[in-house]
C-alpha cells in the first residue's frame, strides 16, 4: 500500500483544513500558503502520487476534478474574470506533495505562463 500523505490526513479529517467541497471521489480545500486570493487544491480521495500514475480506471475521477474546479470557481465568484488550473508532476514542475492535486488559482490577474504567446498568436 502507498504511504499516507498530508492530503490523505486532510481528506480523512485527521488534521484540520478549510475543506470547501467533498464527495465520493474528490476533496477540495484551501491551500495553506495561498498564492492568489483564491487558491484551492482539488485532490482525489484515493492516493495517486503523480499524474504519471493515473490509468483508465481514473477517468471518471479526473473528469470530476475539473468539473468540481469549475463549480468552485463559480461559487468563489472568479469564473467570469478567469482562473488557472495547474497540476505539477514531479521535480521539474516543483511537485512538493506526492498526492495528485490540481491547483485552482484566481481572484487577481495571474500573469502570463511561460512569458505568454508571441504577439502574432495571442488573439
Ligand atoms: P505542489 O507544489 O506539490 O504542486 O503543491 C503543494 C501545495 O500544497 C502547496 O501549494 C502547499 O502550500 C500546499 N500544502 C502543503 N501542505 C499543506 C497542508 O498541510 N495544508 C494545506 N491546506 N495545504 C498544504
- Residue 8 — pLDDT band, cuts 50, 70, 90? very high
Asked if residue 121 has its Cβ within 6 Å of ligand 1, the reply is no
- 83 beta partners: 106
Q: Please choose from 47, 97, 104 the residue to mutate so as to test ligand 1's pocket, defined by most ligand atoms within 8 A of CB.
A: 97
Using alpha carbons, list the distances in angstroms from residue 66 to 34, 40, 69, 113: 20, 12, 5, 20
Phi, psi of 12 (to 5 degrees): -90, 10
22, 28 in Cβ contact below 8 A? yes
Asked if residue 66 has its Cβ within 6 Å of ligand 1, the reply is no
Asked if residue 6 has its Cβ within 6 Å of ligand 1, the reply is yes
**Prediction pTM value:** 0.94
pLDDT number for residue 123? 56
Ligand 1 atom, smallest distance to 95 CA: 3
pLDDT above 80: residue 91: yes
73, 20 in Cβ contact below 8 A? no
What class does CATH assign to 6-110? alpha beta
Asked if residue 95 has its Cβ within 6 Å of ligand 1, the reply is yes
pLDDT above 70: residue 6: yes
Amino acid at each position: 500500500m502507498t504511504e499516507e500523505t498530508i492530503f490523505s490526513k486532510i481528506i480523512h479529517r485527521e488534521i484540520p483544513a478549510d475543506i470547501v467541497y467533498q464527495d465520493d471521489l474528490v476533496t477540495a480545500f484551501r491551500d495553506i500558503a495561498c498564492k492568489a486570493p483564491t487558491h484551492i487544491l482539488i485532490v482525489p480521495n484515493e492516493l495517486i502520487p503523480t499524474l504519471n500514475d493515473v490509468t483508465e480506471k481514473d477517468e471518471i475521477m479526473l473528469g470530476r476534478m475539473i468539473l468540481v474546479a469549475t463549480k468552485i470557481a463559480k461559487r468563489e465568484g472568479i469564473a467570469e474574470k478567469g482562473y488557472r488550473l495547474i497540476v505539477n508532476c514531479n521535480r521539474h514542475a516543483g511537485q512538493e506533495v506526492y498526492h495528485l492535486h490540481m491547483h485552482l488559482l484566481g481572484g487577481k490577474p495571474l500573469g502570463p505562463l511561460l512569458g505568454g504567446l508571441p504577439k502574432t498568436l495571442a488573439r
